[in-house]
Amino acid sequence: MAFTNLVKKINEKSIIACMRDGKAHTKQELARLTGLSFPTVGKIVEEFAGREMFVRLGTDTESPGGRKAEVYQLNPDFAHILLLFLQGETVYYQICDALGAVKEEGRKTGRPGQLPFSLLQESIAAAMAADGKISAVAAGIPGSVHNGTVCCIDGYRELEGRNIGAELSEAAKVPVRVSNNMSLVAMGMAAQLGKKEESGNPGAGKRGSSETLVCIHLADTGPGMGAVVDGKPLQGFSGFQGEVGFMPLYGNRTVQEIALEGFRQISPGECLGKMAACICTVLNPEQVICYLEQEYAKAAQELMQYCERYLPEYAHPRFVFDRDYRADYLHGLKGMGLELLYGYTEEDWS
């Protein structure tokens, strides 16, 4: 019985993956695209139609003679997802339909003295009260996360050591997945690159770009990094991947300590440039995407110069400075939220 259920779930995922293009399909088309038998496809499609996940659009007018085939499409409002991330004392959020279209967006700022977990919990509760179709929640935080547990985080000590994924899921009564901000930014960036590859090459994969790329963010809380290696998110064994603030570059001081001191003795450009050069020697990325807050914008040129100084010319990555941090962050959250909605596990990303 367990094996039968596993096979059914795999077949369902194959059909859903086809229907997530938002286009109309017949059962015959789905059988051809998935390689499943027509009876198997028919049973699953009818089951999903009964649950209002798929909608019948009538018959295919272009079908050759005989009985016309029925046409089905994924119902984008069968369920919604909530995307949110914590930044400072504010939670930014989006509510999207099952195809990823944005239904609503906004922000919720905490009350004076409000703890971050309470703010996250209230934000989810308020969104779910306003939209009864929210069935999955994807949340991002600026800290190291492993299986929903916050391992280390600066500025939000109340969250450290807590499995906020499980706590938020229990309170909301829907699946909640929590991840590191820069991992999500890198996934969002790679997914958008993958769309460009797919549009230029119909045979390209749909999971994201096949590139190796690194995303670096410098804010007032210090630096962070996310990476995609050969099109797959970099995953460490304990959620510590990308915690470049711990990198010891100057004697006994870490990058994080230098940043929190306000770069008093070392310029942001030198610090980031040397940090990026170290990262490039390990990952050899094709692109390094830098998200620099306004006060650090002038560090861009110096950053590149230090990388050019320490790396051989053939290993120089292409630097990008014009990306929208928030847009890429939300795109990564959307990908994680949709995978959660459709029953994918974190292993499906790798």
Is the Cα torsion angle 218, 223, 226, 227 positive or negative in sign? positive
Which tops the pLDDT comparison, 219 or 290? 290
For residues 259 and 270, the answer to whether their CB atoms sit within 8 Å is no
What pLDDT score was predicted for residue 4?
Answer: 76
pLDDT level of residue 192 (50, 70, 90 thresholds): confident
CB contact at 8 A, 150 and 143: yes
Between 63-77, 104-118, 182-196, 266-280, the lowest mean confidence (pLDDT) is in: 63-77
Q: How far apart are CA 15 and CA 30, in angstroms?
A: 7
- Kindly report the average pLDDT of the chain as a whole number: 89
* Domains of the chain listed by start with CATH number: 2-74 (1.10.10.10), 80-181+329-349 (3.30.420.40), 185-324 (3.30.420.40)
Q: Cα–Cα distance between 86 and 240 in angstroms, integer?
A: 19
Is 136 within 8 Å of 341 (Cβ atoms)? yes
Say which residue, 236 or 184, is predicted with more confidence: 184
Higher pLDDT, 209 or 287: 287
| CA terminus-to-terminus distance, the chain | 27
User: Can you tell me the mean pLDDT for 318-331?
Assistant: 94
Evaluate if residue 270 carries a pLDDT over 90: yes
- pLDDT in the model for residue 256: 92
Average pLDDT over residues 22-49: 95
225 close to 244: Cβ distance less than 8 angstroms: yes
Q: Which two tokens stand for residue 1?
A: 């019985």
Q: Which of 154 and 318 is assigned the larger pLDDT?
A: 318
pLDDT score for 68: 75
Q: What are phi and psi of 173, to 5 degrees?
A: 65, 25
- Give tens-digit pLDDT for 61-97: 665 555 678 999 999 999 999 999 999 999 999 999 9
pLDDT in tens, 160-175: 999 999 999 999 999 9
The H-or-E segment that residue 141 falls in is strand 134-141
pLDDT score of 207 more than 50: no
Cα angle, residue 276 at apex, residues 275 and 281 outer, rounded to 5°:
100
Choose between 85 and 204: higher pLDDT. 85
Q: What is the mean pLDDT of residues 1-16?
A: 84
The percentage of the chain sitting over the pLDDT mark of 70, rounded to a whole number, equals: 91
Q: What is the pLDDT of residue 344?
A: 62
pLDDT of residue 196: 63
Amino acid 350: pLDDT = 35
Output the pLDDT for position 199: 55
What is each CA distance from 253 to 54, 222, 225, 288, 307, in whole angstroms?
Answer: 57, 14, 19, 24, 21
Cβ-based neighbour number of residue 248 at 10 Å: 10
pLDDT tens by residue, 109-119:
999 999 999 99
**Quick check: helix, strand or coil at residue 263?**
coil
Give the mean model confidence (pLDDT) for residues 227-245.
Answer: 90
State the pLDDT confidence band at 274, using cuts at 50, 70 and 90.
Answer: very high
Q: How confident is the model at residue 6 (pLDDT cuts 50, 70, 90)?
A: confident
pLDDT category at 197 given cuts 50, 70, 90 is low
Strand ranges (E), 283-348: 287-292, 318-320
